[in-house]
């Protein structure tokens, strides 16, 4: 069984009494922990950068995709203005 399904959700294992824990089972859990950690670190970095550049450092711990797209749009508009284009 894959660690994550097509929409990015974790494929939970439903354990029952007597199930054996195999190296594949443990590797699936390890893969999930690794991927979640990698994504968290990346999101934390993005959140901090957006907080400092756009929101003056006051930003929630997590940013939604819509907030990120909005912030990128704001940054693009600022760069256009710097380059002499109309906001």
Query: Considering its fold, how many domains does the chain have in total?
Result: 1
**Helix residue ranges, H only, the chain:** 23-53, 65-82
Taking only the tens place, the pLDDT of each residue in 41-51 is 566 666 677 76
Range of 47's domain? 23-82
Q: What is the residue-averaged pLDDT of the chain? A: 76
Who contacts 53 (Cβ-Cβ below 8 Å, separation ≥6)? 71, 75
Residue 18 lies in a domain: no
Residue 5 lies in a domain: no
Q: How far apart are CA 8 and CA 47, in angstroms?
A: 21
Residue 13 lies in a domain: no
Residue 4 tokens, joined: 């994550």
Residue 16 lies in a domain: no
Name the pTM for this structure: 0.44
Task: Answer whether residue 85 shows pLDDT above 60.
Answer: no
Residue 7 lies in a domain: no
Residue 43 lies in a domain: yes
Task: Answer whether residue 24 shows pLDDT above 70.
Answer: yes
Task: Answer whether residue 29 shows pLDDT above 70.
Answer: yes
Residue 17 lies in a domain: no
Contact predicate 34/10, CB 8 Å? no
């Amino acid at each position: 069984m894959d660690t994550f399904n097509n929409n990015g959700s974790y494929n939970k294992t439903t354990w029952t009494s007597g199930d054996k824990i195999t190296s594949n089972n443990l590797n699936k859990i390890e893969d999930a922990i690794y991927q979640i950690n990698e994504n968290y670190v990346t999101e934390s970095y993005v959140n901090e950068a957006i907080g400092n550049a756009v929101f003056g450092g006051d930003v929630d711990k997590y940013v939604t995709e819509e907030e990120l797209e909005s912030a990128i749009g704001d940054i693009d508009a600022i760069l256009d203005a710097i380059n002499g284009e109309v906001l």
